[in-house]
Every structure is written in structure tokens, then in C-alpha cells.
């Protein structure tokens, strides 16, 4: 039986060293991380396909570029 891999998109605060506050998992159209208060997002589950995760990551990276956000970086995590 093949195991289906699921993914999540994490936004990291490059300036924070406090455990539990340095990243959060966010889904499509969830831009709550723009407030710089990474609270984990609304849905913290690994519920994306690889293609969906790549699309969300690309969108978040676009927002980071357009808004000139220096504190944030984005990474795809695999469950």
C-alpha cells in the first residue's frame, strides 16, 4: 500500500528566537501571518498535495516580495 504524502506551508520569522513563535503553518489565502504574529494559522494540519503546497509557497513569496517583508521566509514541510 502506497503512503500518500501530505504537505504544509510554513512561514518563518527570521528575527524571532522564541520557541513556538518563530513559525506557523498557513494555507491558501491565509495571510494572517502578515501581522508578524505567527500564531500557527487557522488550520495547522498537513492537508495539501505537493502541487498545492508549491502554489501556496509561490503566492506567499510573491506577497513577501511585493510588500518588502524582510522578516519572513517560506518553506514546505512534509508529513
pLDDT at 36: 67
* Residue 1 counted as domain residue: no
Question: How many domains is the chain built from?
Answer: 1
Q: Is the distance from CB of 15 to CB of 44 less than 8 angstroms?
A: no
* CA-CA-CA-CA torsion sign (34, 35, 41, 42): negative
Residue 58 CB-half CA count within 13 A: 6
* Residue 63 counted as domain residue: yes
Residue 68: which domain range?
7-78
How far is the C-alpha of 49 from the C-alpha of 19, rounded, in Å?
27
pLDDT at 20: 58
pLDDT tens track, the chain, 79 positions: 667 789 999 998 888 766 656 788 888 888 888 876 676 565 667 889 999 999 999 999 999 999 999 989 999 999 8
pLDDT at 3: 74
Amino acid at each position: 500500500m502506497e503512503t500518500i504524502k501530505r504537505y504544509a506551508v510554513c512561514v518563518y520569522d527570521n528575527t524571532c528566537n522564541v520557541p513556538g513563535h518563530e513559525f506557523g503553518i498557513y494555507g491558501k489565502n491565509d495571510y494572517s501571518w502578515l501581522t508578524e504574529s505567527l500564531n500557527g494559522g487557522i488550520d495547522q494540519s498537513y492537508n495539501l498535495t505537493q502541487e498545492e503546497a508549491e502554489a501556496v509557497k509561490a503566492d506567499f513569496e510573491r506577497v513577501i516580495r511585493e510588500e518588502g517583508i524582510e522578516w519572513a521566509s517560506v518553506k514546505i514541510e512534509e508529513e
